[in-house]
Amino acid sequence: INECMDREKYPCHGKCKNIAGSYKCQCRLGKRGNARKSCKVSPLGIAIPVMAVSFFGITVTASVSVTMRWRLRKINFRKNGGELIKNHKVPIFTESKLAKATNRKELRNDGFGSVYKGTLEEHNGTMIMRDTVVMVKKPKDVDRSLLNKDFQHELEILMNISCKNVVKLKGICLETKIPALVYEYIPNGTLFQLIHQNEPTISWEKRFKIAAQAALALDYMHSKIRSPIFHGNIKSANILLDQNNSVKISDFGTSVLISPKHRHIIATQKKDSLAYIDPEYLVTGMLTPQSDVYSFGVVLVELLTRKKLSVTESEKSINIIQCFISSVKGDTPSDVIDFEGASEDEIERVRTVAKIAVKCLDQSSANRPAMSHVAQQLASVNPSSIVEEENEEPKREVDAEELSSCLSCLGMDSASFCI
């Protein structure tokens, strides 16, 4: 007799199995109890299917997410001109490699983007030669067309500059919406940090050297290369210092953001940043070499006085630049410059540099000296500094037609930012 066939006589509310002379009855998976009487749903019985469905859902979602991110990186790479740029001798890094290299080690945030410190492995074939410390500049995710100009401008400049006092490009990442630039790492931070944060005293010789090298780098960009470049964003925070306190000019691209149709960006800047901007530019919207000269004059004021550009004393805002100009013109530079510990020779040279700064800060650009003249004067003030007239280093010359085609792919005319 098969008891499982007669449920009225041999009740079973689960899984029935016929055996010799009797039968077995067990609750089905997910239920528990005496199956001959009743089976109740087990909490574990609910959890297991739910977990299985959830796991499947998560797996599918993750797979879709990975696929979408992969496709997005490919799209960004193509839109950022990757197919043409990869033909240049500029290393192209993946987004994942830079994420691993930087590990979110942010160095600073300048309002237009973040700068991270990272470590990349340099390879020679299949062997790791060494670990290289780098800086990664990641612009903020705002208007793409605006920041792409920034990226293209900076890439064009760095591909064509061979100057020991300009930060070197180590590579680029094109897989992000807004491309990232990878620079050599400059260990001693910024001139702003040196002046306002790091050291209780800075020797005059060190200040003279920094001023002379920064001027030489700007002169190089203005007049020593085939297509002159206006930096447009010179300030102490964009002048980096290496282990020997030698100058490295950085951050070219941000100058593109400060334009007449993007005045709202200027309005968001801190007062200390606005102080560097050529007053004529704020009126005309025209960026000229003399705009850099004015900004450099502001840097000289910082370097000589070690004062922030706008300070408050007794609830009164004081404009250091105007105080500096008045003091130098009135032959009382000691009102704003601390000469304590300076020799007579150093005091005389400081006076000379102060007069150069005042000329750079003339409200009329027509009355400001050329950067070449400023560099020459500062070099004479600082004869002991290691400042070379010839500042070029051997580097591959980028063919103008090749570069133009590259930038056309990126949506920019290569002449847009040069004269």
Separation of first and last alpha carbons in the chain: 103
Confidence band, pLDDT 50/70/90 cuts, at residue 145:
low
pLDDT value, residue 150 = 53
The three-state DSSP-derived secondary structure of the chain is CCHHHCCCCCCCCCEEEEECCEEEEECCCCEECCCCCCCEECHHHHHHHHHHHHHHHHHHHHHHHHHHHHHHHHHHHHHCCHHHHCCCCCCECCHHHHHHHHCCCEEEECCCEEEEEEEEEEEECCEEEEEEEEEEEEECCCCHHHHHHHHHHHHHHHHHCCECCECCEEEEECCCCCCEEEEECCCCCEHHHHHHHHCCCCCHHHHHHHHHHHHHHHHHHHHCCCCCECCCCCCHHHEEECCCCCEEECCCCHHHHCCHHHHHHHHCCCHHHHCCCCHHHHHHCCCCHHHHHHHHHHHHHHHHHCCCCEEEECCEEEEHHHHHHHHHHCCCHHHCCCCCCCCHHHHHHHHHHHHHHHHHCCCCHHHCCCHHHHHHHHHHHCCCCCCCCCCECCCCCCCHHHHHHHHHHCCCCCCCCEC
Nearest to 154 by CA among 83, 250, 291, 16: 250
pLDDT value, residue 286 = 80
Among 35-44, 166-175, 330-339, the range with the most confident prediction by mean pLDDT is 330-339
Whether 22 shows a pLDDT value over 50: the answer reads: yes
- Residue type at position 38: S
Confidence band, pLDDT 50/70/90 cuts, at residue 45:
low
Cα atoms found within 13 Å of the Cα of residue 41, Cβ hemisphere only = 6
Asked whether the beta carbons of 291 and 199 are under 8 A apart, the reply is no
Whether 302 shows a pLDDT value over 90: the answer reads: yes
Which two structure tokens, joined as six digits, stand for 334? 């000691």
What CA–CA distance (Å, rounded) separates 148 from 81? Answer: 11
pLDDT value, residue 84 = 61
Whether 21 shows a pLDDT value over 80: the answer reads: yes
Among 137-151, 204-218, 274-288, the range with the most confident prediction by mean pLDDT is 204-218
Q: For Cα atoms 124, 125, 131, give the angle at the middle one, nearest 5 degrees.
A: 35
* Secondary structure (3-state) at 111: coil
Q: How many other CB atoms are there within 10 angstroms of residue 42's CB atom?
A: 15
pLDDT value, residue 293 = 97
pLDDT value, residue 30 = 76
Confidence band, pLDDT 50/70/90 cuts, at residue 257:
very low
Whether 212 shows a pLDDT value over 60: the answer reads: yes
Torsion sign, CA atoms 202, 204, 206, 210: positive
- 364-381 pLDDT, tens digit each: 999 999 999 999 999 999
pLDDT value, residue 375 = 96
pLDDT value, residue 401 = 43
Confidence band, pLDDT 50/70/90 cuts, at residue 144:
low
pLDDT value, residue 394 = 42
* Secondary structure (3-state) at 218: helix
Among 225-239, 304-318, 327-341, where is mean pLDDT lowest? 304-318
What number is the average pLDDT over the span 89-99? 81
| Phi/psi at 105 (5° precision) | -85, 85
What number is the average pLDDT over the span 194-221? 91
* Secondary structure (3-state) at 51: helix
Confidence band, pLDDT 50/70/90 cuts, at residue 246:
very high
Whether 242 shows a pLDDT value over 60: the answer reads: yes
Confidence band, pLDDT 50/70/90 cuts, at residue 157:
low
What number is the average pLDDT over the span 117-140? 71
What CA–CA distance (Å, rounded) separates 163 from 215? Answer: 12
Whether 265 shows a pLDDT value over 70: the answer reads: no
Which two structure tokens, joined as six digits, stand for 146? 């605006």
CA dihedral 318, 321, 324, 328 (to 10 degrees): -150
Among 95-104, 116-125, 318-327, 362-371, where is mean pLDDT lowest? 116-125
Whether 282 shows a pLDDT value over 90: the answer reads: no
Mean pLDDT score of the chain:
77
Confidence band, pLDDT 50/70/90 cuts, at residue 190:
very high
Whether 229 shows a pLDDT value over 90: the answer reads: no
Q: Higher pLDDT residue, 183 or 384?
A: 183
Does this model's pTM top 0.85? Answer: no
